[in-house]
Structure 1
Amino acid sequence: MGHNLYHGAFIWVALVFVVLEALYIAFVRKEAYDVRQTAASLGVAVGNTLLRPLTALMVMAVFPFAAQFAPWHLSMTDPWVWIVAFIGFEFLYYWMHRFSHTIRWLWASHAVHHSANSFNLPAAVRLGWTNVISGEWLMFLPMVLLGFPPLMVVILLTANLIYQFFLHTELSPKWGVLEYVLNTPAHHRIHHASNVQYLDRNFGGVLIVFDKWFGTFAEDDQSEPVVFGLTTPIHSHNPFVIALREWRRMLGDVMRSKSLGEAAGNLFGRPK
């Protein structure tokens, strides 16, 4: 209940920042602002918010059940447990995010987030509707099985998503030395780029260090303008089209498969 209230309160905070960003772009920078795309992103966000309780119910059922089998039961009052949990969570988040770009079943949900053709705060809330079945949340189960309290994992995920909301803007300056360690707007804009040299880069949540360690880090090389969105862009502003397009494409490929192996590849191979 507390988590849902916290999420609900942040929605209103996010809307305030969305409006402030739009006003700054339109009246200070005097640049065109795509109101229809923002409305589409907010429509997708409404669907995500309505369906989010389904994922929450699964987490509340699976995580406490799994916690019974943990060899340790770590305390939420120990600061060192939080430090280790944060690093462990960021490690798992990196791989969850990376798999969401390289496994089509996961990409079917995650592609929604990358469908915005501009990089701004509304793009941050353009989140998929099908996380309960795509199963990204299962990537954090190892933390529970190691003894970290389920509530701690949920808090870390909530904090991670709130932090990343503020990364979705081109209005932020660079963050100086923090750019070496943290995921920043400059790093995350490259993650949302569809230019070939930037595909599947910068998967970090709060930290960027795992991208540097595992060879997926990239900076803007200034060779050409950064293009945002999917490699096959979505031009529709219909939230249902945006949220379900990749599922329709994937299942269509499965239906046309000529063998079980080909069907499995269409479900769990690399996105097309």
Structure 2
Amino acid sequence: MAFSQLMQHPEVLLLLLAPVFFICIFAEWWFGVRSNKLPNSAQYRIPEVLCNLALAAMHQLSDIVAGLFIASVYLAFFDWRLLDIEMSPLWFVALLVLQDFFYYWFHRASHRIRWMWAAHVVHHSSENMNFTTAFRQSLMYPIAGMWLFWLPLVVIGFDPQWVVFAVLLNLGLQFFVHTQAIKRLGPIEWVFNTPSHHRVHHGQNPQYIDKNYAGILIIWDKLFGTFEPEVDTVRYGITKPVNSFNPLTVTFAEWRDMWRDFQNKELTRKQKIIQLFSPPATHQSEHVKRTSKSSLDG
């Protein structure tokens, strides 16, 4: 596919990158997992791999369907743009850096706002870390509001098609940080997100929770106080496990729990609204307390 054709349909970028992704998956399995050079938490277990692939397909489909609506919104805001940007190599670099900046805030919000966490938790719900973990994406991102974070780029004056391309390129490059086969990358660690930094982000160790939100550049975490180096062995997963390889269960578990809490008759209307947008850690703690109480009562 020619680049001009790709820019007409940037939503297919990840599909074009799929062969590279699968080559990396095979290499990780063949040279790392199969030869027992990687820890147990890097193993390729068929039920989970199939779940991850299904989640990726569902996410891709929802992006294509929702893209029709999102494109119309972006085009409407593009009429209000501040600048008439003629894309050039310099402007393209500026777009990638700005998009990564807004990705940091999207990612941070996805951990601190329960409504957004309900979608993003899918990506964190695995207790393993290998390249297929990157495929664990939610079809609910459009509902959660991910696309809202790229609106400033359109208002600045970047063509919506270039914005979508930058977003998907950022997501595609993040595939390569989901591995335990690469330890440290020397000076690269100072500026860029790396497997080591991202392993921390997937950890449920207390010191690792809500750290290293970087997409491509780790500098945002260092600037805004959310950086944490990898020191202790990472324990992957979330504090409220899903315990399922059913992609629909994985996708909707937190939405189900959020709806249950919203229906709590003991809460006022204001409290119900607040619990939708408060940090998810509060509700996870309450879940742990309820689970512990049920165990004691049993």
TM-score range, shorter chain: over 0.9
The offset of 1:171, in angstroms, is 0.3
The 5-angstrom pairing of residues 108-187 of structure 1 reads 108-187=118-197
| Partner-residue secondary structure (3-state), 1:176 | coil
Report if the CA contact (8 A) 2:108-2:213 is conserved.
yes
Matches of 2:9 and 2:160 in 1, distance apart?
14
Q: Which residue of 2 aligns with 1:264?
A: 273
Structure 2 residue corresponding to 1:235, chosen from 223, 236, 243:
243
The answer as to whether partners of 2:11 and 2:165 remain within 8 angstroms in 1 is no
* Structure 2 CA distance for aligned equivalents of residues 242 and 141 of structure 1: 29
CA distance in 1, matches of 2:98, 2:235: 32
Cα deviation for residue 2 of structure 1 reads: 2.8
Q: How does 1:76-95 map to 2 (within 5 A)?
A: 76=87, 78-95=88-105
Matched, 1:3 2:14: no
1:197 is aligned to 2:207: yes
- Residue 87 of structure 1 deviates from its aligned partner by 2.0
Native 8 Å contact 2:82 2:157 kept in 1: yes
1:43 to 54, 78, 81: 54
Matched AA of 2:257: R
C-alpha separation in 2, matches of 1:188 and 1:252: 32
Question: Take 1:261 and 1:250, find their aligned partners in 2: how far apart are those partners?
Answer: 15
1:7-22 aligned at under 5 Å gives the runs 7-22=14-29
Question: What letter corresponds to residue 3 of structure 1 in structure 2?
Answer: P
Instruction: Give yes or no for contact 1:113–1:127 (8 Å, CA) kept in 2.
Output: yes
Is 1:103 the counterpart of 2:113? The answer is yes
Is 1:25–2:32 an aligned residue pair?
Answer: yes
Shift of 1:190: 0.2
- Post-superposition shift, 1:16? 2.9
Are 1:52 and 2:63 counterparts? Answer: yes
Structure 1 residue 30, shift from structure 2 partner? 5.9
- Where does the alignment leave 5 or more consecutive residues of structure 2 unmatched? 1-7, 284-298
Number of paired residues?
Answer: 269
**TM superposition score normalised by structure 2:** 0.86
Runs of 4+ in 1 over 4 A off after TM superposition: none
CA–CA separation in structure 2 for the residues paired with 1:47 and 1:132: 12
Q: Which has the larger radius of gyration?
A: 2
